[in-house]
Amino acid sequence: MRPRIAIPADTLTEATNIINERNAAFAPRPLIEAVVKSGGLPIILPSVDPQLAVNYLPLFDGVIFAGGADVDPTFFNEEPHLKLGMTYRKRDLFEIALVKEALDAGKALMGICRGMQLINIALGGSVYQDLSEYPHPTLKHSQDAPGNLPSHHVSVAADSRIFKLIGQRAYVNSRHHQALHKIAPSLQVTATADDQIPEAVESIANDWVLAVQWHPENMFKHYQYSQAIFADLIQRAKENK
Ligand code: MN
């Protein structure tokens, strides 16, 4: 049996004239394909009452917190910054509950972009709500290049899990206007861009969390080191079964 990889859904908040598409739960197709190609079975979880999150645990072995809207800053005790993007509190509530339940159950977690920020916030960290809040000028992290092509490099800590997957220095894509600020106590930064913006975090005490600020699901077909991140999740999901 393939490891089952849950993907908490994004929500299509823009109204269409088809009533059944309003607030439709969806997952990015490239992410689904990356999971299948890497040996997992993807399962999409709609956002529901966070108290129900625990009921999903028997259905999956690993979970990917995917990209999407900004996390509501009230979850890290801040009011909205002028440059905060769209937020959708219902997804945040469900995913924060699912992070905690999944970790309590020893599941393998992966985070992508917003997903890395969400995991950090769920575990007690925070983000800069916009890169203009960062204490010094940054690189361009909202690339205008096509999303399946890399645009900036990351440097990787030698003793980290991700080092074994992507090496000491990797060329990655970048589509974020926020960045990790306070790092959650149970996480450590294991890759940074040359402006010191965190680009990957991992759990300190175990191998349960590996999250990246970039989008490997848009690069996995042509960049082996992007697929390696998914293969690692599948492996961790197998071990934690
Ligand atoms: Mn970046």
- How far from the centroid of its chain's Cα atoms is residue 35's Cα? 14
For residue 241, what pLDDT is reported? 65
Cα–Cα dist 68/37, whole Å: 22
Domains, in order of start, for the chain: 4-239 (3.40.50.880)
Distance 240 CA to ligand 1 centre (A): 30
Q: What is the pLDDT of residue 13?
A: 84
The predicted-structure confidence for 53-108, as pLDDT tens digits, reads as follows 999 999 999 999 999 999 999 999 999 999 999 999 999 999 999 999 999 999 99
Of 30, 12, 241, 199, the closest CA to residue 113 belongs to: 199
**Residue 209 burial (10 A CB sphere; 0-12, 13-18, 19+):** buried
pLDDT of residue 196: 98
In this predicted structure, what is the pLDDT of residue 71? 98
**CA distances from residue 212 to 46, 86, 96, 117 in whole angstroms, order as listed:** 23, 21, 17, 9
What pLDDT score was predicted for residue 126? 98
Determine which helix (DSSP H) or strand (DSSP E) holds 209, and give its type and residue range.
strand 209-212
- Residue 139 Cα distances to 33, 43, 58, 173, 179, angstroms: 30, 35, 42, 12, 12
- CA 146: distance to chain centroid? 20
Instruction: Please state, in angstroms and rounded to a whole number, the distance separating the CA atoms of residues 114 and 72.
Output: 11
Distance from the CA of 142 to the center of ligand 1, in angstroms?
Answer: 7
Distance CA 180, CA 166 (A): 21
CA of 235 to the centre of ligand 1 (A): 26
Q: What positions carry a catalytic annotation?
A: 113, 215, 217
Ligand 1 centroid to Cα of residue 219, in Å, is: 14
pLDDT in tens, the chain (241 residues): 999 999 999 998 887 788 888 889 999 999 999 999 999 999 999 999 999 999 999 999 999 999 999 999 999 999 999 999 999 999 999 999 999 999 999 999 999 999 999 999 999 999 999 999 999 999 999 999 999 999 999 999 999 999 999 999 999 999 999 999 999 999 999 999 999 999 999 999 999 999 999 999 999 999 999 999 999 999 999 997 6
